[in-house]
Amino acid sequence: MVDKGELEKQKLQVEIKEIELKIESEIKSTKRQRVKNLTTIILTYTSIAIGIITIWTKSETFLRQKEREQNFVLNKEMITLVDQLNENDIRKQENAAILLSFFKKDAIPILLMNLERSQNPKATIESLKLIKENREKKPQEVLDPLIKSARKIFSASEIADDKDLLAFSNFVEALGELGKEKEKDVEELLNNLMRQVEEKKIKLTNPYKFIIKETIQKSVEKLRKNSTKL
């Protein structure tokens, strides 16, 4: 006959075993749940990341397209205004000069291009002057590209026709009107052009030579006069 104490002992061992099995089962269940939860979190964040990348990519594409469309419209408007700069109507010239100045730095390249061919450069120079005098801009933002373009024009080995003469004369005049903040650089550039003309390093006729020299002299005088006002 089994001792009562032994039965209690066996019963206790069974209960302990059951408890151990339950604990082990709970641990496994918890681990599975953690893995499941972690997987869910990873998938959720992955989906969010993919969504953000997709939205960002589409937004970038949309913004680039809109920027191209806007640039096209702005360029078209500037071209129209530049055409008005070259009309004989003084009021239209003045209005176009003012309106182009609102485009600020974006208008500089097209104004410099117009300066090469304009029969009357005063409106174009005035528009560049308004941009240069804008408080939000530094004078160098106009002067640096102006000087760079002038150097390119002046590097030509010949003034062959009225078109070439116009480009030379217009840039000489513009430098005198606008160059006071860089007087030294501008005057050196103009004096160098004068030497090239006098030493016949630029091929041109005597009438062209007279016009260019006179324009340079007037421009240097204007430059010095403007610089004294600083």
Average model confidence (pLDDT) across the chain: 80
User: Using one digit for the tens of pLDDT, what is the confidence trace for 92-150?
Assistant: 888 888 888 888 888 899 899 999 988 889 999 999 999 998 877 788 999 999 999 99
pTM: 0.67
Please report the pLDDT score of residue 4 as a whole number: 58
Mean pLDDT of 164-187: 94
Compare 164 and 50 and report the one with higher pLDDT: 164
Domains of the chain by residue range: 73-227
CA distances from 147 to 39, 185, 189 (A): 64, 9, 8
- How many angstroms separate the CA atoms of 39 and 44, rounded? 8
User: Using one digit for the tens of pLDDT, what is the confidence trace for 56-74?
Assistant: 565 555 445 545 544 445 5
pLDDT bucket at 87, cuts 50 / 70 / 90 = confident
